[in-house]
Copies of this chain bind each other. A is one copy, B any other.
Amino acid sequence: MNPIQKQSEFRVPKRLQGIEKSMIRQIADRALPNSINFGLGEPDLQTPDCVRNEAIRVIQEEQNGYTLQAGIPPLREKIITEYPHLNLKIDDVVVTVGSSEALFGALMTLAEDGDEVLVPDPSFPAYWGIIGMTGAKMTKYRLPAEKGFAFDIEEFKKQITNKTRVVMILSPSNPTGRVHTRQELQQIAEVLQGTGIYVISDEIYRDIYFTDEPPASISEFYDKTLIVGGLSKAMSMTGWRLGWLTGEATAMKSAFVLHGYNVTCTSAISQKAALKAWTDEGQQARLNSREVYKKRRDFIVKELETQLGLPAISPEGAFYTMLDVRSICDDEMEICEKFLQNHVITIAGKAFGDETKGFLRLSFCCDEEKIREGIRRMKEALGK
């Protein structure tokens, strides 16, 4: 119940009580000028030419009014080709305002008061805020720090209750960069089979992987899945706000209705330009970003370990590494703060859950020169 307030004051509705800006933003917003940014997960690469040129063409040549609320059909045709195992129809896809709106829509469609939503610990903190807004209770399964944040089926199983309505899967993971193996996903599917529990599979980092094979999707093994996807990370299109939600048809019907009332549709220009992501140049751009991040991963992990003498996780995907500072502090926020003061943004592990306490997340969305300089400043801040 809300506390009784004077009618004349703004009353925060139940769905928004206690929900604040994520700690990631709180730290990043305190950055000093000219900081090296290992904070936000935002590609520094330019949006590929093929997308930008197409956007320019449609601005010059076409009228850019409302699209169908679900998005332009040719784009939805392309999106369903990403998931050939699902036999999707274009009506099972909604083009969203980045993967953010897809995530928001999926949770608002699947969870409500009385439900539990099971999320990995660590995970992307936007989940917590949105789950709070749905009225559901958040529960967590550990990705144990002592196993390098790998998935543990026993930890997962013991958190499933008869109130669990939704399970979040995030692979490649933010913040750890770990990728689920096919076997792990099969184990999850076995546990969930017949329960009616829905999975939201956050695959926004799907195209950024450093393994031989692309990451598998839980949707290959479990049909009650909604997939959150988009082009923001692999095509460096964060500012274009182009994502999607797709998957199990009955849930998508409700998600579509919510989407229409929420935003009507996403930018017509971004939608039309996004079609170019499925051309040869588009595929080449995705491959290129994969290669860039792989080189940087090898560089930053080695540099952190050699310069600072601290262990760092070598991720299998996404563009984050976790630096283990447990040997030099009780609370990683102290170190995060020291780095901030010396013009380097890193994110304290506690921003992502309990398991990552004692770690810092560093994104490698900057070039080798900046990475080198950032680590030099970190070393300096540590008095090494």
A residues contacting B by CB (< 8 A) are 6-10, 12-16, 19-21, 25, 40, 42-44, 46-47, 52, 55-56, 59-60, 63-67, 69, 97-98, 100-101, 104, 108-113, 126, 129-130, 133-134, 194-196, 198, 238-241, 248, 250-251, 254, 257-258, 260-270
Contact residues in B for A248 (Cβ distance below 8 Å)? 10
Tell me the smallest distance from the CB of A23 to a CB of chain B, in Å: 13
Residue contact A112 to B14, C-beta cutoff 8 Å? yes
Known contacts being A16-B254, A267-B270, is A195 close to B261, with CB within 8 Å? no
* Highest count of chain B CB atoms <10 Å: which of A56, A64, A198: A64
Please determine whether A239 and B66 come into contact, CB atoms closer than 8 angstroms.
Answer: yes
Other A-B pairs beyond A15-B108, A67-B239, 18, CB < 8 Å: A8-B194, A10-B251, A14-B112, A15-B112, A16-B257, A16-B258, A19-B261, A42-B66, A43-B65, A46-B63, A55-B59, A56-B59, A59-B59, A97-B97, A100-B263, A133-B258, A239-B267, A239-B269
Q: What is the oligomeric copy number?
A: 2
CB distance from A244 to the nearest CB of B (A): 14
Q: Which residue of B lies closest to A12 (CB)?
A: B254
- For the complex formed, measure the closest distance between the CB of A131 and the CB atoms of chain B, giving whole angstroms: 10
Could you tell me if B97 and A65 are in contact, using CB atoms closer than 8 angstroms? no
Which of B64, B108, B240 is close to A47, meaning CB atoms less than 8 Å apart? Answer: B64
